A and B are shown apart, each in its own frame.
Chain A
Amino acid sequence: MSPVVILETVRRHVTHIGYLTFLALLVLAAFATSVFDRPAAAWPGLLVLLAFVTGCGVVGPEFSSGTLQLILVKPVNRAVYLVSRVTGVVLVVWLAGIVAALCELAGRALWGDSGLQARAIGTALLNCATDTILTVSFLALLGSLTRAYFNIGIYLVGLIGLGLSSVVFAFIRQTDNAVGRFLKAHTGIERGLMVIDRNLYPDLPVPPRFDTGWTLMVLSNAAIALLLACLAFRRREVPYGAD
């Protein structure tokens, strides 16, 4: 990996006003929810959002802005560049997660009345950190295949489409028409969609707990996404100048 690319990615993010604003929001949410009985009630959700927002700019926008060509003339392998970019973004999200977890712990120590719950908060942080790797890797894969911010569109269509499909299919299944009967007879369709949904957009374990199966699923999917992203990125033609 390239330390220069990683450090530059981290520097670019942590000095960005958007990131700092989001970090302030995370800190507020962590302190505000430290009085709740349930640990890590709000910030893991925000961290998932941060992973999405930061992950969508890994490579796609650089194709369109023309900056990618300037970077790739340097003696750095494309795969190394991509993995380093992903690592930098993941580190930035982890940093925000650590700040949020520490703020919740501080809040609980100062004014909470349901104990420190450090173990649960630590587990929530670990799960968020794992989930971040998949989110950013998946967005890097989509970014390697598309230009600009099309990766966000594809990611969101998948997320919303798969989420809605289970509700719509469940509703149709209750009806007694031909489609409903077809779905009842072919349960593999719904099961398949559920498996895809669970693999690409995994929900964080609630309440926070360490689940080996979940962790292995997320990490293996992230590794596959990153591998495919590297292969796609290596073969991509980099346009000269901006679109």
Chain B
Amino acid sequence: MVRTSQRYVPIALFILAALLLGARVLHQTTKSDAPAKSSLVRWHTPKEGLRLAAATGRPLLFDFTADWCGPCHMLDGEVFQDPAIARAINERFIPVRVVDRQREEGSNPPEVAELQRTYNVRGFPTVVFAASAGAERQRMEGFRGRAEFERIMERAR
């Protein structure tokens, strides 16, 4: 009896794998239909951000990032998801997120490539604080913690 029931282990595993795969596909499908994870910082696209900065005269904050970049997710989780920092960024700057798609798509949209060239972005994450006209004030290359980010942001005011 026990030995007979033991034979069903691969079948049970097959059902488990099929169920998990189904759940994974379902999650992937529903995720792509759902709106992106809400961010506390009100990010703008490069075009929008540059237009808004020119119109309002507020300085810019560029977050150069990439989907595959682990430290970029750490920066997002520990800094940009901090309510106090997010509020300060939204009040003082025009936040612009510049997402690199080179690895995924082989090339970047022209405005992304142009901004990366202008601010000499060599790696991710790179955060550049710039005047509304575009002149660079401060930058942070790599993820150096929340305290360091706040220090650089204060200097960039």
B-binding residues in A (CB < 8 A):
1, 37-38, 75-77, 79-80, 83, 166, 170, 173, 183-185, 187, 190-191, 194, 203, 205-207, 209, 212-213, 216-217, 219-220, 223-224, 226-227, 230-231, 234
Contacts and interface: CB of A to CB of B under 8 A. Distances in A.
Contacts of B14: 227
Interface stretch (B4-12, B44-52, B90-98, B126-134): B4-12
A170 B103 contact: yes
A208 to B, nearest CB: 9
Given A75-B3, A170-B103, A207-B77, A223 B13 contact: yes
Looking at A75, A207, A212, A227, the one whose CB has the most chain B CB atoms below 10 A away is A227
Given A227-B13, A230-B13, A185 B6 contact: no
A170 B7 CA distance: 48
A183 B145 CA distance: 35
Contacts of B3: 75, 77
B106 A203 contact: no
B5 to A, nearest CB: 9
7 contacts: A37-B146, A187-B103, A190-B103, A191-B103, A207-B78, A213-B27, A220-B24
Contact of A227 (B17, B23, B73): B17
A191 B101 CA distance: 11
B77 A187 contact: no
Interface of B: 2-3, 6-7, 9-10, 13-14, 16-17, 20-21, 23-24, 27-28, 31, 68, 70, 73-74, 77-78, 102-107, 145-146
B49 to A, nearest CB: 26
A234 B103 contact: no
Given A207-B74, A213-B24, A213-B31, A223 B16 contact: yes
Contacts of A205: 73
Contacts of A212: 27
Contacts of B77: 206-207, 209
B7 to A, nearest CB: 6
B24 A194 contact: no
B17 A234 contact: no
A231 B70 contact: no
Given A77-B7, A227-B14, A230-B13, A185 B24 contact: no
Q: Mostly helix, strand, loop or mixed at chain A's interface?
A: helix
A172 to B, nearest CB: 13
Contact of B103 (A80, A194, A223, A226): A194
A187 B105 contact: yes
Contacts of B73: 205-207
Given A79-B13, A223-B16, 11 more contacts: A77-B6, A79-B9, A80-B6, A83-B9, A187-B106, A213-B24, A220-B17, A220-B21, A224-B17, A230-B13, A234-B10
A156 B145 CA distance: 32
Nearest to B78: A207
Given A207-B77, A223-B20, A79 B28 contact: no
